[in-house]
Structures are given as C-alpha cells and as structure tokens.
Amino acid sequence: MFREDNNTYYRPDCNDTNHADKIVRQPKKKALLDTKQYYLRAAKRRLCHVCHVDPDNHNEIESIKRTIHKLEHEIETIQSMDISHKNLHKCKKLNQDKILDYCVRVLEDSKKHNIYFITAEDIAYQLNTYVYLVKQCFTKMNHMGLLSQPEHKMPHDCYRPKRTEYDTIDSGWAGDVYYIR
C-alpha cells in the first residue's frame, strides 16, 4: 500500500498485482491459426503417406491420428478465442469525497507504520482512478495542513545514465513525494 523508497512497492489491497506489472501480449489469433493449420495439413499428408507405404504400422498411424485430433481441438479453441480484457487496468472517475476519505484513512494507517510520505500514483492505482483526481485531493489536504507540497525528488521522465557500475540511478519515472505532517 505504501512506498518507502523508489525501489520497494507494496501491493494494493484490492488485487495481487502492483503497478509495475506488465501485460504479456499473446501472439495474434491469425498467426496462431496459420501455424496450427500448417501442422495439421502436414500431419494429414504424413498419415496418407504412411497408410500407402506401410499400412501395417499401426503404432505410427495411431500416433499421427492422435496428433491430428489434438491439432483439430487446438484450432477449435483458437477460433473460439475472444480477446481477454480482464488483465487491463481500467480507471473510474470517483467522487472527490470518497478519495479524500480514503486518503485520510491512509494517513492514519501511515502513522501507525512509521511511513513518512505517500505518492498520488500509488493511491490512484489502489482506487482504480485517475492520478489527477488524487492530486486534487492532495491539494485540498495540503490546505487542511495534512500533507506537504509535492516534492520532486527526481525529474519526472528523463534519461539518467549510470556513472559507475555500482550506481543505482537508471532511466525511469518518478512521481512527486508528499510528506505527511
């Protein structure tokens, strides 16, 4: 739920992923179909060849028939495939009061766990909402005296080359840090 440094992320309570996880895209449906159909045609040609050359070789014929059946089943599965959207992260536009209540609860929890700052990106990911809405709530909380002004620890989006082999600085993105008062 919180981030203590730039490398350690705590997973949100709502699911088993963090915002650093990536979606691995599967090969396209047409490419999968083409390869499976090619292997099916090759297996059928092989079956015809084996049946004409050596019809008494039942083991090889049965093996090829099992392969053909397996490929036909895989082709049916691929043809019935739909694009899965369950892995994609979708944002909802939440009410400002709900976001503010959640942020106040986060601040109370952070005092118990000795956490000194939060970021808008982490809260937005936990609530499945947009970052700009959370930043608006953080501005209100700043006016109430609960959070500090945003502090830019690193440039938001830039190239930071490594100076030595032991240097941990690398290219990346860093959000603003809001210290808890």
**For position 134, what pLDDT does the model report?**
93
Is residue 23 situated within a structural domain? Answer: no
Is residue 41 situated within a structural domain? Answer: yes
* Statement to judge: residues 70 and 102 lie in one domain: no
**For position 128, what pLDDT does the model report?**
87
Question: Could you tell me the CATH number of the domain that includes residue 161?
Answer: 1.10.10
* Statement to judge: residues 63 and 117 lie in one domain: no
- In the predicted structure, residue 165 carries a pLDDT above the cut 90: no
Q: Which residue has the higher pLDDT, 4 or 97?
A: 97
- In the predicted structure, residue 97 carries a pLDDT above the cut 70: yes
* Statement to judge: residues 138 and 68 lie in one domain: no
Whole-structure pTM over 0.85, yes or no?
Answer: no
* Statement to judge: residues 114 and 140 lie in one domain: yes
Q: Which residue has the higher pLDDT, 81 or 134?
A: 134
* Statement to judge: residues 75 and 112 lie in one domain: no
pLDDT tens for 62-93 read: 999 999 999 999 988 888 876 555 555 678 88
- DSSP string for 111-178: HHTT--EE-HHHHHHHHTB-HHHHHHHHHHHHHHTSB---B-SS-SEE----SSTT----SEE-PPBE
Domain that holds residue 64: 29-79
Of the candidates 33, 31, 28, 42, the one whose C-alpha atom is nearest the C-alpha of residue 79 is 33
92 SS3 class: strand
* Statement to judge: residues 101 and 175 lie in one domain: yes
Is residue 90 situated within a structural domain? Answer: no
* Statement to judge: residues 35 and 60 lie in one domain: yes
* Statement to judge: residues 130 and 166 lie in one domain: yes
Is residue 101 situated within a structural domain? Answer: yes
Work out how many domains the chain is built from and give that number: 2
